[in-house]
A and B are shown apart, each in its own frame.
Chain A
Amino acid sequence: MTEQEAKIRIVNLNMSIGNKPILKNINLEIPSNKLTVILGPSGCGKTTLLKCLNRLTDLYPDATVDGNIFIGDEDILHTKKNVNDIRKRMGLLSQRPYPLPMNIYKNVSYGLRISGRRKKKFLDKRVEHYLRMVNLWEEVEDRLREPATSLSIGQQQRLCLARGLAVDPEIILADEPTSALDPISSEAIEKKFAELKSRYTIILVTHILRQARRIADNVVFMYLGEIIEQGSAEQFFNDPREEKTKQFIKGAFN
């Protein structure tokens, strides 16, 4: 992983809620334009790590985050920049889709509108562009003014992806994005990620081993708040170094 340019560099990251440590001394480099999978059993801190990256951890009471997270040269944990601007550099796809309480068109254009882009022609173009990007345009083009909740859950998840992409992020954070979806919708999302990684740095959290095998370029294996092993997918699956990793790959945790 070291030969490539690291997009995100995490240095000595510790995170705790109250006195309970959630993440312990995380050191990690995430290469740009690759799909990095964070793998691990439930409750190992994968989601928390993701939330540290876009500083959603700011929104939790009693949460303390120590260490540094560099995106490029900027330490986003200690920057003077507005946290909303940091979040706009990353699109988040959560475990289940949370469409905003508005119509399909407004869902996709929301991020642009809160950034002050209000020209209808511009928004029309962008909405179509991003809906096409997630292969949703054909399905919704004549019902853009209908509520987003009228879509199926798989469509909603793709809509949420389009909504996240529309703020023009460099990074996509995906937190078990297929866990609420049927197999066909899951496959659609996975395929999309495979396409998108040439343009974005993607970090996908999952506990599904097979999903990691299918799409990962790099794998980070976490257990109980610590990183056990990280490396290229090939090396990780074929020749794991750590004992815990071997057990996990054999299915000992599931």
Chain B
Amino acid sequence: MKRALSLALMLGWEDVKQAYRRSAVGPFWITASMAVQIGAMGVVFGIIFKTSLFDYLPYLATSIILWSLVSTTVIDGCKAFIESEAMIKQLDISPFVYVFRVMLRNLITLAHNIVLIPLVFLVMWHPIGWQILLLVPGLALVVLNLTWMIVILAVLCARYRDVPQIVAAAFTIVYFVTPVMWQPSLVPSDTAHFLLGLNPFYHLLQLLRLPFLSAVPTAENWYLSIAMAVVGWLTARAVLKRFGKQIAYWM
């Protein structure tokens, strides 16, 4: 497992560096393009929702940056095995190397983006409370959940090559039903349970986002995310046990 992690970290770093090799500011293009996106959306939706930018921009910056971790990891996870075809066909290394590679690559991207949050908070003079400490267990739980999703999607996508497109399409819908740009409080309370409660990605996002917004994730957020991690990993293990050996044949 240790070797898998260090190999995955190396490959993951390489992936991040790869995209920005020939540019002067390097990987901080990730940060720059995220900043532009947040600025533009902040102004537009601030006007539409008629909220003050001082409240809305910190919320939006936190939401978009943390949501992008969840969504790009899942969409990226589909390619985990497909993109490593050459390696899979020649080397006998644990499939977790490819899974961790995707996870770590996205965490590295997050590390580039997350510097924007304190920046926005500073400019908007928005406080950060002690709740920020809850980010540690929250992030751990989210990563635990994202990795099992990568395992299952990567196997499925190796076998059925149209799944990545299906997942990408499905995720645009998830993006709209999850309160990323808009506040959860906008949902009428009678439909909140249905629209938010049943959306697993809402709970994951809350775990990541609320610590920044001086709030504590609810017990429901925690319990459901833990339950999801347990069930998800049991499923992922079963999937790998059943199909792990076949992946090489599907390449």
A binds B: no
B interface residues, Cβ below 8 angstroms from A: none
